């Protein structure tokens, strides 16, 4: 390889700038290094300075923890990765997707890179429109981090990740302690407990694979609540919520609801099991469900749109399979046309009770589009709160609405990328390294 500089344009994933020597894998202590990974890592005792993910599935369950890590991340193609030799000095920008290799940085480049913005929450647009940024969490530590960063509420607790250390099936006593600990860490802020939601790659240790739960598209959420052992576990969660109702600001969220009839049924079950006054909501995660928001808002206290599952249904591609990544395109104009139609049908008043969840609003450049379409409440990884708060504060509503309209009129994903970042990257699925 010749020349003093070589740059690559990948898909921006987690914002932030990092600089260091590129290495393959997490071997040794990766602190201060840029690591290139073939698959999403598990827990990392030592965080690298930045991560280059090769052919990753952006909205997969396995990738979501990287959003929570706060480490800058760019996704590249396998061809791009092959042109990035280990041992070279790299500067990675997770907000633009740009990765630069430079001879002049030497073997021990200085780590003088921009810091994350300071948290300033709650937040309004530059012209004073309030935007609610809540936190999606899976444990008490994440709640504590969200509070430190100014989250106005815990918008989503992924209760399927709360498990006893010995691997046994949780009971009501376990959930009382776990939910109570989350509420204590939240310091009086509202905490939304999403009832257990099993998927193929987030099946707890106590649940046998032979149960079929989460093993196929649609075998999840409330569709499993009439089957054991999920029926008993759901009752245990509701018993714990009922026991904590007097001392905690809890809300309860039903996952993967199909239609208004199913929603009415399960809201009846919840109202029979819980004290009055606890807000009850449902997750709309399929196109059919999302197009019923106007009716759901009449039945439930609030509605959450699960963008990850919504996208895999809309595009007909498994969100957890990297080989299908090109079909799950977060920059596809049709996605924003669909969300714009949903927002229009729901109406501004109902949208005040709608919360967008998932990876989509957290991708660099996307949040202003969603604000421009009419959405005002988002639940995101705690580490993303400062970046998203800064984005909102620097955005005027009129500009966001114009951007959303232009995105919806775009004729390609490449055109949307240009609109979101005029000086930014070309599509990661098509771009190679360029001299």
pLDDT higher than threshold 50 for residue 435: no
Over range 407-424, report the average pLDDT: 86
CATH of the domain at 98: 3.50.30.10
- Note whether 65 and 154 are same-domain residues: no
Backbone torsions φ then ψ of 124, nearest 5 degrees: -125, 160
- Note whether 43 and 134 are same-domain residues: no
Domain assignment present for residue 14? The answer is yes
Domain assignment present for residue 233? The answer is yes
Instruction: Give me the pLDDT at residue 214, please.
Output: 62
Domain assignment present for residue 117? The answer is no
Instruction: Give me the pLDDT at residue 2, please.
Output: 38
Determine the Cα–Cα distance for residues 21 and 28; give it in Å rounded to an integer: 14
Domain boundary among 73, 105, 137: 105
**Domains in the chain, number:** 2
Backbone torsions φ then ψ of 15, nearest 5 degrees: -70, 165
Of the chain, the end-to-end C-alpha distance in Å amounts to 10
Enclosing domain of residue 51:
5-105
Domain boundary among 63, 78, 105: 105
Average pLDDT, the chain: 90
362 closest CA partner among 384, 340, 335: 384
- Note whether 87 and 155 are same-domain residues: no
| Per-residue pLDDT reduced to its tens digit, 235-294 | 999 999 999 999 999 999 999 999 999 999 999 999 999 999 999 999 999 999 999 999
pLDDT higher than threshold 50 for residue 374: yes
- Note whether 73 and 159 are same-domain residues: no
Domain boundary among 75, 105, 135: 105
Reduced to 3 states (helix: H, G, I; strand: E, B; else coil), residue 300 is coil
pLDDT higher than threshold 90 for residue 202: no
Instruction: Give me the pLDDT at residue 425, please.
Output: 36
Instruction: Give me the pLDDT at residue 219, please.
Output: 85
- Note whether 188 and 56 are same-domain residues: no
Strands in 34-37's sheet, in edge-to-edge order, are 5-9, 98-102, 89-93, 17-24, 34-37, 50-54, 73-76, 11-14
Q: Which two tokens mark 268?
A: 């009846």
CATH of the domain at 200: 3.20.20.60
Domain assignment present for residue 435? The answer is no
Distances (CA, A) of 25 to 59, 93, 134: 21, 19, 33
The mean-pLDDT minimum among 299-313, 317-331, 355-369, 373-387 falls in 317-331
Domain assignment present for residue 428? The answer is no
| Per-residue pLDDT reduced to its tens digit, 19-62 | 999 999 998 899 999 999 999 998 888 899 999 999 999 999 89
More confident residue, 121 or 90: 90
Domain assignment present for residue 425? The answer is no
Among residues of the chain, what percentage have pLDDT more than 90? 78
pLDDT higher than threshold 70 for residue 115: no
212 exposure class (CB count in 10 Å sphere: 0-12, 13-18, 19+): exposed
pLDDT higher than threshold 60 for residue 113: no
Instruction: Give me the pLDDT at residue 208, please.
Output: 78
The mean-pLDDT minimum among 121-135, 188-202, 243-257 falls in 188-202
- Note whether 186 and 314 are same-domain residues: yes
Instruction: Give me the pLDDT at residue 387, please.
Output: 93
pLDDT higher than threshold 80 for residue 93: yes
Instruction: Give me the pLDDT at residue 3, please.
Output: 43
């Amino acid at each position: 390889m010749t020349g003093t500089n070589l740059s690559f344009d990948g898909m921006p994933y987690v914002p932030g700038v990092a600089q260091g020597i590129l290495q393959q894998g997490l071997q040794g202590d990766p602190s201060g290094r840029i690591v290139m990974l073939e698959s999403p890592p598990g827990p990392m005792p030592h965080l690298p300075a930045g991560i280059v993910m090769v052919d990753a599935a952006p909205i997969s369950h396995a990738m979501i923890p990287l959003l929570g890590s706060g480490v800058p991340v760019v996704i590249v193609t396998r061809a791009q990765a092959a042109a990035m030799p280990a041992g070279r000095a790299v500067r990675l920008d997770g907000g633009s997707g740009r990765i630069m290799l430079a001879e002049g940085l030497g073997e021990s480049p200085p780590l003088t890179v921009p810091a994350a913005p300071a948290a300033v929450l709650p937040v309004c647009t530059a012209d004073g429109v309030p935007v609610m940024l809540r936190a999606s969490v899976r444990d008490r530590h994440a709640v504590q981090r969200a509070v430190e960063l100014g989250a106005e509420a815990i918008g989503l607790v992924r209760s399927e990740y709360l498990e006893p250390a010995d691997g046994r099936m949780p009971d009501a006593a376990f959930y009382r302690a776990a939910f109570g600990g989350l509420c204590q860490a939240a310091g009086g802020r509202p905490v939304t407990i999403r009832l257990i939601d099993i998927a193929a790659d987030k099946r707890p240790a106590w649940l046998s694979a032979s149960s079929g739960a989460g093993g196929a598209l649609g075998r999840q959420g409330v569709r499993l609540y009439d089957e054991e052992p999920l029926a008993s576990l759901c009752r245990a969660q509701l018993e714990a919520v009922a026991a904590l109702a007097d001392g905690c600001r809890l809300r309860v969220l039903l996952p993967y609801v199909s239609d208004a009839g199913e929603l009415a049924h399960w809201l009846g079950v919840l109202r029979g099991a819980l004290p009055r006054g606890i807000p009850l909501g449902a997750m709309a995660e399929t196109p059919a469900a999302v197009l019923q928001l106007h009716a759901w808002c009449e039945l439930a206290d609030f509605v959450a749109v699960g963008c990850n599952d919504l996208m895999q249904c809309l595009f007909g591609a498994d969100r957890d399979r990297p080989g299908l990544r090109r079909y799950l395109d977060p920059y596809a104009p049709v996605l924003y046309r669909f969300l714009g139609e949903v927002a229009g049908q729901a109406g501004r008043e109902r949208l005040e009770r709608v919360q967008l969840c998932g990876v989509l609003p957290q991708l660099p450049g996307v949040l202003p589009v969603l604000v421009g379409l009419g959405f005002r409440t988002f639940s995101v990884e705690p580490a993303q709160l400062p970046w998203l708060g800064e984005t909102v504060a620097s955005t005027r509503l009129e500009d966001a609405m114009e951007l959303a309209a232009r995105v919806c009129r775009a004729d390609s994903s490449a055109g949307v990328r240009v609109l979101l970042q005029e000086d930014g990257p070309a599509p990661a699925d098509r771009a190679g390294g360029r001299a």
